[in-house]
C-alpha cells in the first residue's frame, strides 16, 4: 500500500580522494554566499572496507546549451551494449536523450525506466514526461511506476558495471537550470547490489503496458501536450 509519509531513496557513504570532488561542489555554492571557506582534510580518509572502486565526481551549474550532466547521461546511454536501468524522481528528457534511449532499445539494449507513480507531489512533471512514453514503448523500452511511496532515488546502471548516482533527475531543470552533482562508480559489485534493488522495486511497481497506454483518453493526451 502506498504511504506518502515515506520516501524511497538510496544513500552512499564515500571515502577517499573522491570526497575532494564532493567538497568542491559544496564550496562552489558556498563561495556565492560570501561566507568564509573551511577545508578539513581529515574527512578524506582511506576506506575501512578493504576494497576500492574507481570513482569520478561530475558537477554542473546552470548553463545555456551546455551541461556536464547532459553529456554524462548521453555517454552512458550511447555506450550501453546490454542494459540501461534508470531510476529517477522526475522523467522528462530532452529530445537528444530521448532519441538515444529509443535508439538503444531498438538495437536490443534492455532499457528500463522507473519513476514515481501515484504518491508524488510533482504531478505536472509526471504528466509532461508521459508524452514521451509512446515512442519509448514502441522501441521496446520498459516503463514502470513505483507505487509504494514517493520515489526520490536517482540511479543509473549500465551493463552491470557502470553506476551513476547523485542529485540530477532526467529532466530539463536538472540538466540546465540547477546546480547538481553526480558520482560515477565503476564497480560490478555495486552494480549488482543496485540491480538487486531494481528487482525489489519492480515488485512494488506498475508496469506501463503498451496496449493500455495507447488507449488513454483524449483529455489526458491534451494535458501531456
Q: What percent of the chain has pLDDT over 70?
A: 74
Mean pLDDT of 42-46: 59
Residue 44: count other Cβ atoms within 10 Å of its Cβ. Answer: 16
121: DSSP letter: S
Instruction: Say if residues 84 and 171 touch (Cβ distance below 8 Å).
Output: no
Whole-angstrom distance, CA of residue 175 vs CA of residue 12: 22
Is the pLDDT at 64 greater than 70? The verdict is no
Instruction: Say if residues 7 and 149 touch (Cβ distance below 8 Å).
Output: yes
Mean pLDDT of 192-199: 95
Instruction: Say if residues 54 and 187 touch (Cβ distance below 8 Å).
Output: yes
For residues 4 and 17, the model is more confident at 17
Q: Give the SS3 label for residue 158.
A: strand
Instruction: Say if residues 160 and 194 touch (Cβ distance below 8 Å).
Output: no
Query: pLDDT band at 222, cuts 50/70/90?
Result: very low
For residues 103 and 2, the model is more confident at 103
Query: pLDDT band at 177, cuts 50/70/90?
Result: low
Whole-angstrom distance, CA of residue 176 vs CA of residue 65: 8
Amino acid at each position: 500500500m502506498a504511504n506518502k509519509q515515506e520516501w524511497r531513496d538510496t544513500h552512499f557513504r564515500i571515502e577517499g580522494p573522491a570526497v575532494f570532488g564532493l567538497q568542491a561542489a559544496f564550496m562552489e555554492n558556498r563561495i556565492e554566499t560570501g561566507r568564509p571557506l573551511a577545508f578539513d582534510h581529515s574527512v578524506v580518509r582511506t576506506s575501512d572496507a578493504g576494497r576500492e572502486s574507481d570513482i569520478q565526481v561530475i558537477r554542473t551549474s546552470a548553463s545555456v546549451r551546455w551541461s556536464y550532466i547532459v553529456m554524462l547521461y548521453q555517454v552512458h546511454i550511447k555506450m550501453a551494449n546490454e542494459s540501461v536501468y534508470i531510476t529517477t524522481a522526475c522523467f522528462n528528457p530532452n529530445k537528444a536523450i530521448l532519441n538515444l534511449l529509443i535508439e538503444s532499445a531498438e538495437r536490443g539494449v534492455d532499457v528500463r525506466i522507473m519513476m514515481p507513480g501515484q504518491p508524488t507531489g510533482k504531478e505536472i512533471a509526471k504528466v509532461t514526461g508521459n508524452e514521451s512514453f509512446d515512442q519509448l514503448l514502441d522501441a521496446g523500452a520498459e516503463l514502470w511506476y513505483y507505487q509504494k511511496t514517493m520515489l526520490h532515488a536517482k540511479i543509473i546502471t549500465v551493463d552491470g558495471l557502470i553506476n551513476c548516482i547523485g542529485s540530477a533527475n532526467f529532466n530539463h531543470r536538472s540538466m540546465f537550470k540547477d546546480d547538481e552533482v553526480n558520482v560515477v562508480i565503476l564497480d560490478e559489485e555495486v552494480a549488482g547490489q543496485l540491480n538487486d534493488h531494481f528487482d525489489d522495486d519492480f515488485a512494488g511497481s506498475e508496469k506501463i503496458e503498451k496496449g493500455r497506454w495507447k488507449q488513454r483518453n483524449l483529455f489526458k493526451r491534451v494535458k501531456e501536450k
